[in-house]
A and B are shown apart, each in its own frame.
Chain A
Amino acid sequence: MEVSSNSVRLGVIWFSLCSLAAAAGNDPFADLSVAPSSTNAAALAEPDWADNLLLRKEVYLLFAAGRDDLDETQGSLSRLSAGFEVQKRFATATRTVASADYQGRVVYRDHVLDTSADPMGHDAAQWEYETHNAYVDIYNIFGEPGRFNLRCGYFYQPFGLNQQTDTHGTLLQLSNDRVFGYERDWQTAVYGTLTEALDYSVGYLFGAGPDFDMEGQAGMGVARVALNNDWLFKHGLEGGVSFAAGERVDEDAVMRSRSVERDTRGDPVVGTWRVGADVRKRIDSDVGPFTLTTEVAAGEDEDDAVLSGLAQADWLHPSRRWGAATQYQHVWQDVGAGADDYTDARASGVVTYYFRNDVGNANLHWIALAVERQVRQSDGPEDTLLMLQYYRYW
């Protein structure tokens, strides 16, 4: 009988292991140990400048057609963009002290349609360079770790769920664009832990919008108190209350209301206050998580009462390959001056297939098909839009 050398080798190994096991009281690993290492930070080098430096690219293509608009114009919306994001964390040997984020896009638009999927489209030129994030975080500036952090720059307003939601590439957007006229602003905010259960954010917004329009406005103070992430992870629950007051630049707010135009004398600086509440609840199931979201806000533009509401339901398959969502949003404003109230109501639905869908949004790649029905539009025709989106972020 011929015995291969491989079998002999394995036999020797087996014999050795058995011998070791016998010698070590049946523990064949007894001769192995995990060598201890130094725990002294002096052994830890400070990070190089290239450490914790993240660069990402983005391509976003959106095509849309309105049923009525197509009949009238034979045109369809094209919104094509290419962008990037840079993130950098700054640390000493023992402490992460700050981070910075910049995100921008070159955008080409043709035949712009009024859709909440492209909130920056209605005022945009055909070619635009858009800054979406430009901010610096300084962590733990004093007190207990996590108590006081500082963020300065251009980013989501700390009002509603927007700041804890990445809507950068999604077709469905949250309320702030309708509540303030834009969802990001130049600002400074202090944020951190308020109590065992609550986080806070307090800031000053320039009220300058994406183009940093300074028209002599006072800016806005904003404050938010929200459930901390223990609630999210233990109960699938997020929620908070927000308040903002001051002055912001918003030409659209002046154009849609005669009373605001009268009160501001045509100036784009609008006296503003808003109070808002929001809840988002995730319901886990063996067919994937369902998420129910609602945001409501009330306040005034000058003397006009303003109300805004949003309801959204999302589903994601456990494989993270398929998702679906539907949304209804409603904005109402008492424009006074004998004119009809302003109303903007839309219902949307979207189905998404994900090629990549990283849990931390580090790598996203999807194609989405959406329908938006403009239920009620005071300042334009009501139409039904069909949209096709390709998005990649890597």
Chain B
Amino acid sequence: MRGASASYRMTRCGSIACGAIFAGCIAMVDAGTARAADVELGRYLSSECTTCHSPHAHSAIPNIHGMMESTFTEVVRAYREKRLNNPVMQNVAARLNDEDIAALAAYFASAKKVP
């Protein structure tokens, strides 16, 4: 399993290796974006979810906009660990690491349902 954030940092690390002169600059960028990164990452990752999970009321596919972070986290982890059964969700959850799930949970908790 690999996560988007981990890969992103690895990419940055590749840049660091290109020259020590840039190291300070890169450290500033990473430090500056670290706090805000989770929701930004969550917003990007959420685009995978919104193909099916509409902000409008649904039935078979739940509306996850506005879902509590703790609920979201527990449900996605349950799919990842195959304690819940839907293969679509098991497949989606399989490549989400804990940081991805936290980012998504934070994003969807702040996302609004649309009547």
Is B a genuine binding partner of A? no
A→B interface (CB under 8 Å): none
